[in-house]
Amino acid sequence: MHSIFTKFLGSAAVGASLLAMANSASAADPENCKAVRFADVGWTDIQVITGIAANLFDALGYTSEVKTLSVPVTYASLKNKDVDIFLGNWMPSMTADVKPYFDDKSVEQLPPNLEGAGYGVVVPQYVADAGVKSIADLAANKDKFSGKFYGIESGNDGNRIIQTMIDDPKNNLAGFELVESSEAGMLTEAEKAMKNNEWILFLGWTPHPIMGDMKIHYLDGVSDYGFGGATVHTNVRAGYLAECPNAGKLVSNLKFDLAMEGAMMAPVLKDGADPKVVALDWIKTNPDSIKAWLDGVTTIDGGDATAAVSAAIQ
């Protein structure tokens, strides 16, 4: 009787062990990967694509968390492992911001999530038609611009580049001032100036639905400073892809285009809509988009990712 009972216990233990192994094998990511922490620097394009990612992760059983941080704090937080993912590494304009973190390998750069973007200093088209088409044309027209460049939030790479151009003696921009504000604040100034046919210098980028509707001209002579054509990369904290391979696969799959970002940005900028809600609505309207994003991805516990997301967007 003792021998039979011992064999039973042994069989039960083996069965329990096999069940535990099976459950472990089915889990796509460990429990410590459940919380997915995003950095969002407050730019509308990054808000909406972070909304796309957050909705997908939530549907797959993860818990997304979005922290609004400045660019410098974003990279310090990635290095300190306080955040996991940043979808807004605009290059080459952010080269100086990211180089120390790439050099010490505390932040990893993934392939671009957006190509064909643009970034630079813009003037209204009527100003360009009057002869101001390059940075070299600004010094002679300082008074018409009230000696001001309008930028966005403090710590932004575009502001830094503008200040570098002001400080570079070859541009003869001594006395010009960088006015730091926010994306919305800068656009308000630009729209007011253009309504009154006034001259204004401000930071411009593509994709952007409001700037896309504006008749503006990108100034020449800025490529040496990091402005011009741009690609946007995804960054992750060091080791994230290895620690959380399923989450890492999803974030590596995320690719966007100018049209979709512009379409999502419009209601956020023009109507004050919630970026995450806008992103969810976009996924519902474009369900085929999830196929490429979910290629090779499962739910956090190893289930069917496509079925989980499809159920979540119904």
Residue 25 lies in a domain: no
Q: Which of 229, 257, 275 is the last residue of a domain?
A: 229
Give whole-number Cα distances, 282 to 61, 130, 167, 308, in Å. 20, 41, 43, 17
Task: Find the domain containing 140 and state its range.
Answer: 118-229
- Total structural domains in the chain? 2
Q: Which of 202, 229, 256 is the last residue of a domain?
A: 229
Residue 10 lies in a domain: no
Same domain, 55 and 140: no
Helix axes 44-59, 305-312, angle to 10 degrees: 110
Residue 138 lies in a domain: yes
Query: Which two structure tokens, joined as six digits, stand for 19?
Result: 């069940």
Which is nearest to 216 in space by CA: 196, 230, 231, 202? 202
Per-10-residue mean pLDDT, the chain, length 314: 40 39 57 97 95 98 97 97 98 94 98 94 97 96 97 92 96 96 94 97 91 90 91 98 97 95 92 96 93 96 96 89
Same domain, 291 and 205: no
The pLDDT assigned to 9 comes to: 38
What is the value of pTM for the model shown? 0.82
Residue 180 lies in a domain: yes
